[in-house]
Amino acid sequence: MTLGTEDIIVHRGMGKPENTISSFEKSMSRGYHFVELDVHLTLDENWIVFHDFEYSKGKKIEESNTQEVKNSKEYEVPQLTEVLTKLPKLRVNIELKVPKNDENSFNIGKKFGKFIDSYFSVERGYISSFNSKALKGVRASNQEVKLSYLTTRPKPSEWELLNRKIDLYSVNPLFILLREKHVIWAHKNNLEVHPWVVNHRRMILRMMRLGVDKLITDKPDQVKSVIETT
């Protein structure tokens, strides 16, 4: 499969601090309009864009109010609504961050499915998560949004079971153990494959040879260079 610039998903935006409006704007200014970002539900029930579960040592986002998280940083930590409204042309892979052992995973996903319906079109991107219960919750409240299952290794049997229940759009495995047989299986089951995080030329070439559909990367310029010279 031939990849184009539109198939490059920039991991948390370009530049520092990551997961900020400025990092997403920089991506867009360089011609990369598809980014991956991370969201958490705060104690006061806002969806905030941040990678780690703790915003400061011992302080969890899920147990803190939005302003507590924002006040802890010298840069502006955005809410998801700000990103989606200020950057209407930005396409997004939104990773829903919910601890796997969280008993409330399904309900958190359900809340997110309802929330995103007001701000998100199918064409704009998709929702991904390592937490399958959270994804089931999203699907329970939103039948239209595209869903992707994140994994640290290829798991076709697990992918198949989840796909039957929530109609997945893609599977997003860590690239290291991905093989051609996994990509073939996914495509036979009408699933796209978006490996993460693919940064180095040799691995980029290998993923392209496997026939993946998109690449999640910290180094979009490197990926673009390989695409254009291959």
The whole-chain average pLDDT of the chain stands at: 97
- Quick count: other Cβ atoms within 10 Å of Cβ 40? 24
- Burial of residue 172, with CB atoms counted within 10 A of its CB: 0-12 exposed, 13-18 middle, 19 or more buried: buried
For the structural domain made of 5-34+98-229, what CATH number should be given? Answer: 3.20.20.190
- pLDDT given for residue 57 in this prediction: 95
Q: What are the C-alpha distances in Å from 48 to residues 15, 68, 198? A: 19, 11, 26
pLDDT at 1 over 80: no
Work out the percent of the chain whose per-residue pLDDT is above 90: 95
Average pLDDT, stretch 20-33? 98
What percentage of the chain exceeds 70 in pLDDT? 100
- Can you read off the two tokens belonging to residue 181? 């047989």
pLDDT in tens, 35-57: 999 999 999 999 999 999 999 99
Over range 111-130, report the average pLDDT: 94
- Band of pLDDT at residue 216, cut at 50, 70 and 90: very high
pLDDT average, residue stretch 75-103: 96
**pTM of the shown model:** 0.97
The domain segmentation of the chain, as residue ranges, is: 5-34+98-229
Average pLDDT of the segment spanning 15-32 = 97
Distance CA 9, CA 37 (A): 10
**What percentage of the chain's residues is helix, strand, coil (to nearest 5)?**
40, 20, 35
| Whether residue 119 has pLDDT greater than 90 | no
Predicted pLDDT of residue 101: 84
Give the Cα separation of 91 and 183 in Å (integer).
Answer: 24
Asked whether the bond before 156 is cis by omega within 30 degrees of 0, the reply is no
Burial of 99 (0-12, 13-18, 19+ CB in 10 A): middle
Helix (H) or strand (E) run with residue 186 in it: helix 180-188
Identify which of 146, 182, 185 has the alpha carbon closest to the alpha carbon of residue 195.
Answer: 182
* Amino acid in position 186: A
- Residue 70: is its pLDDT beyond 70? yes
Of 28, 29, 25, 53, nearest to 39 by C-alpha is 53
Q: Which residue has tokens 């695409």?
A: 227
- At 135-148, the pLDDT tens digits run 999 999 999 999 99
